[in-house]
Amino acid sequence: MDPVKEFFADLKSPDPSIRFSALSRIEDLTWDDQQQQALRSLIDQEKDPGIRFHMLKVLARLGQSGKSKATAAEIEELLKDPDRDEMKLAIMLESVKRTDAPLVVISLKEANWTSFSAELLPSVLKFLKKFGSFENAADIEMLCRHHDPRVLSSAVEALEKIAPDRLKDLIVPLLVNPNFGIRSRAVRLLHRWDPTEALRHFESMLFSNVESEKQAALFHAYFFPFKQIETLMLRFISMEKDPDLIKKAGLLFMANPNGQVPARLLEARQACVGTKFQLIDNILKGVLTSLYQAKIVKATPEQMLEVLENHFKQKRLKLFIERYSLGLKSGAAETRLKAAIKLCDLVRYNIGEARELIENYLQKEKDEESKARVAQYYRSCLPESPEKTDQPPEKHEAEQQIGLANSIDEKNFTQSFAFAQEHFKELSVPQQVMVLKAIERFGDKKQVQLPTKALKSENSEVLAAAIDCLSVIDPDQLSPYLPQFIKHSSDDVREAAIKVFALFDKQQAIALVEKMLFSVQPLQRKQAILCCGHFDFQSVRHLLIKALKLEGDPENQQQICSLLRSNADEELFYKLYSDLKACKTSRKSLYEELVAAMADQLSTGENALDKQKLYGIAIQKLEEEEKFQSQRQAYRLEKIQQIREKPEKGIVIDAGLARFTVVAYSIGIILTALIWFLFLAPDSNSKLSGVRSKPAQSRLLNKTVMVQGTISYVDNEKRLIEIENSLENKKKYRLKIPESFGKLPNQGEQFHAQVKIIKEGPVLLADMLTAL
């Protein structure tokens, strides 16, 4: 990827402020003949008179290279001419000697420079940025509200150099400017005073549904400290579909290489297919080359890539084992059974830790049916299983042949597959699953017919195995079936389907997972957490952090903590430490345990950090954050978004969803419709313009509210507690607590929850949805 080419691409941006900024950024480069010719062709296409003027100035200046510098007297004389040549003046201002600059500033003041044309003003402001002083600040500040985005951005840039504190009062009008390039520049400016809030604004723009807003955010991303935006940029290239934007983001990674980025880029690459896989692969190799050329690493890019791929496999394996070893500790026999079956699959690859876990499970499992099933499956997975044979299946009787489904390996796959295809319906469910897993490991598109037929199976285990198989050998075959599988009653089938759907549209797949992750049903949340394990971490990092704040189920909490621990870094540690200090609920002990474990993890190993320093920086960050709280009200993201909003009548169509609908035609119109109606459609209670809702029979019935207060009464038998709600004028609530919550809190304890009112009266009866 050529940076100069990317800058030229910015000159084609629909946003005039971006085109102007790109031109300002590259005008001082050394131009070859080909680049000058490219600029001339862009001049012919440019319709904005101000930008056209600037382009012509660049070419004219290049043609005058080597000529003597302009004197103060020459500029003063030109300024006095009412019919002066503005292009000539702009070029002369570029070549003023430092010794003559104070006299030129005086001449500009006498000529009332603020009244110059919008075409010329940026050249004057550029001159004042370089040679002006605080005395010019008032005039420059006046132009920070100019209607022309080129003039406005030049004025902001000049004032930022001469008197930056005068820009504080201009932050809000700049953040609500209708031009996205100006907004992005304002966010960059805000970073000077409040980095945390500026990054929130930057994130909002970077993940906007408006293409121009994303373009503007990405353009100004070059001016942020890369370490502070690295996580956001990783998430961006993982989620973004536009190849040009991905390439542009990739330049940031190549320009800021560090030792940790390649592993994260590889994880993002592995979660993609097709063109996007290739794009991120190019970025990854570019970063590895930069690291090698800068002598940050000694290994060649090829050697580093091999090491990273092995490291990635080991990390995924470790996470897989930890995830399902937690499942073995579940109180539900079905969860333990599924976890054991998953771990048995690792036994085939001689993973000793998985074998040890299964043998330990078989000794302790009390559910005899589950135990027998796992034992049988485990035996078939052992490398030294008596069922293994080198003989081809046709040399055995029919009953023996059916038993050979568990013994398929790379050597006998071709012969075994021919038999399995003919007798697939005769095989038991476990044997069908084994055949599909063998095709996943050893097959390709030539064997696609059998797993495609298996998609019609009524058995959820076979369905999940067929989806997993096709996701590896031919994902396109799954497109027409995804809608029904995403809504399937089986958790395993839904998980497998969402995993594949992410290959087609990661944004929408994560939207589905997010909806599940914050469901009132613990099992839905559990499945969503397991789905998160299949995405690259940066895509779901923000969701997992948010989910941990709300999750009340202990098993789900441990699964989230497992995912966070396996991706520990400094930034994540500081975020969790901040959440720990802000936590006022019973989850505090969970946060303390997680933060302590992460500190231990980061302070050991190859790139160990000093634990005391780690905590010291976290405390310092919290203190800085508290300092900004009082001054932040005027420019908080939420406040700025409210100011920008304009009341519009009619139904608003989300641009991202519209794009998804168009793309989804390539994977079936039914898929689009079902995913919309089943997962993404607005709540049936939401108001649509032009549609009158029926008057509610009860003002409070079925309403969802927040309840917080001291527990005044506890009935353990009926699982009821009473609270006087401090959030709602001391109304009294009697809450029904579900069994999944576990032990009831004690009388006198504080309680905070989201509830749904099911009966009105002096004391409101409500179902607890989520404990906070």
The pLDDT averaged over each successive group of 10 residues in the chain (772 residues) is: 60 71 68 74 77 80 68 91 89 89 93 92 92 93 88 91 90 89 89 91 91 87 90 93 90 87 91 88 92 88 92 90 89 89 85 91 90 86 59 45 56 78 82 85 86 89 89 84 82 84 83 89 88 90 94 92 92 93 90 94 83 92 83 85 61 38 38 40 41 46 76 86 78 80 79 80 80 58
| Two structure tokens written together for 768 | 């607890």
Amino acid at 650: G
Task: Give the separation between CA 511 and CA 505, rounded to whole angstroms.
Answer: 10
Report the pLDDT value the prediction gives residue 78, as an integer from 0 to 100. Answer: 92
The gap between the terminal CA atoms of the chain, to the nearest Å, is: 48
- The long-range contacts involving 312-317, CB below 8 angstroms and separated by at least 24 positions, are 312/263, 312/266, 312/267, 312/270, 315/566, 317/346, 317/351
Contact 493, 485 (CB under 8 A): yes
Contact 705, 738 (CB under 8 A): no
Report the pLDDT value the prediction gives residue 505, as an integer from 0 to 100. Answer: 80
Side-chain-side CA neighbours of residue 245 (13 Å): 22
Report the pLDDT value the prediction gives residue 496, as an integer from 0 to 100. Answer: 86
Strand partners, 709: 751
Report the pLDDT value the prediction gives residue 624, as an integer from 0 to 100. Answer: 86
Contact 402, 427 (CB under 8 A): yes
What crossing angle do the helices spanning 491-504 and 506-517 adopt, rounded to 10°?
A: 150
Percent of the chain whose pLDDT exceeds 70: 84
Task: Give the separation between CA 32 and CA 648, rounded to whole angstroms.
Answer: 50
Contact 552, 742 (CB under 8 A): no
Strand partners, 724: 732
pTM greater than 0.85 (yes/no): no
Report the pLDDT value the prediction gives residue 49, as an integer from 0 to 100. Answer: 80
Task: Give the separation between CA 130 and CA 123, rounded to whole angstroms.
Answer: 11
Contact 405, 431 (CB under 8 A): yes
Q: Which H or E run includes 768?
A: strand 763-771
CA 737 and chain centroid, separation: 35
Backbone φ and ψ for 133, nearest 5 degrees, come out as -140, -175
Report the pLDDT value the prediction gives residue 401, as an integer from 0 to 100. Answer: 43
Q: Provide the 8-state DSSP code for 455.
A: T
Q: Provide the 8-state DSSP code for 717.
A: T
Q: Provide the 8-state DSSP code for 679.
A: I
Q: 766: which residues sit within 8 A by CB, 6+ positions away?
A: 705, 707, 733, 734, 735, 736, 755, 756, 757, 758
Contact 96, 124 (CB under 8 A): no
Backbone φ and ψ for 531, nearest 5 degrees, come out as -65, -40
Q: Provide the 8-state DSSP code for 318.
A: H
